[in-house]
Amino acid sequence: MRKWVAGLLLSISVILLTISLYFLIGFFMQERQDNQLQQELQELMQKREDESEEDASGDSLIEIDAGILALHEENPDCIGWLTIDGTRIDYPVMYRPGDKNYYLHRDFNGEYSANGCLFLAEECVPGNSDNLIIYGHHMNSGKMFADLEKYKDEGFYEEHPTILFRTIWGNEQYQIFAAFTTPVYTGNDFDYYSFIKAGTVEDYKKFVASVKEKSLYQTGTTAKYRDKVLTLSTCEYSQKNGRMVLVAKKNNGKLP
């Protein structure tokens, strides 16, 4: 009887170990695939930028980011590339209005990926919305928007206060003016994700005042009516349904 029980336990252990190894191997293969795709996208951008510099005539009235245009031609859902110095955040941004959360668990090519992509909220309209909201996963591997957590530290913010958003309509730099955590979908939370376009000047001022009040520290920067705003949002695990959020205003003027 004891031998039978021991044999059964051994069989169960082997099965569980096999299942664990299967998922572990699958995880590493997925990570390898995602890393390779990321490298390919960066190489595609760089190649097109190099070609653009060689072919530049110097008489164009409109500056077009050749690298981002190459990605957009590869997949029209790609509208830009988001980069924050001092973090691993250096990814394409996807936009698929009318297809909610399409890139939540899809890669640049639309294939399944646990990491998903950074994506612009479907309700936003580039060039028209006062606030562009970009979502991304908080991966345990540190990928996607996991490094937004670094902005809980005021010292880190002081060293990295800006966000670069290269887009098909122009390259934009944003100045962070608030970093906060908040629960969502509790029935009584701060619905920062609902502010897309201000109906009135007061609506805009109320949103800015609310995010500054919730900010973990005072940045000494604010936004005024008609300033375009960028909001980055990811999961935050110190509370139920928590979110880590950065809010930044667009810096006007040509980037160096």
Q: Please state, in angstroms and rounded to a whole number, the distance separating the CA atoms of residues 154 and 143.
A: 21
Q: Which member of 78, 117, 124, 137 is catalytic?
A: 137
Does the annotation mark 137 as catalytic? yes
Q: Is 79 in contact with 95 (CB distance < 8 Å)?
A: yes
Convert the chain into a string of H (helix), E (strand) and C (coil).
Answer: CHHHHHHHHHHHHHHHHHHHHHHHHHHHHHHHHHHHHHHHHHHHHHHHHHHHHHHCCCCCCCCCCHHHHHHHHHCCCEEEEEECCCCCCEEEEECCCCCCCCCCCECCCCCECCCCCEEECCCCCCCCCCEEEEECCECCCCCECHHHHHHHCHHHHHHCCEEEEEECCEEEEEEEEEEEEEECCCCCCCCHHHCCCCCCHHHHHHHHHHHHHHCCCCCCCCCCCCCCEEEEEEEECCCCCEEEEEEEEEECCCCC
User: Could you give the residue numbers annotated as active site?
Assistant: 137, 235
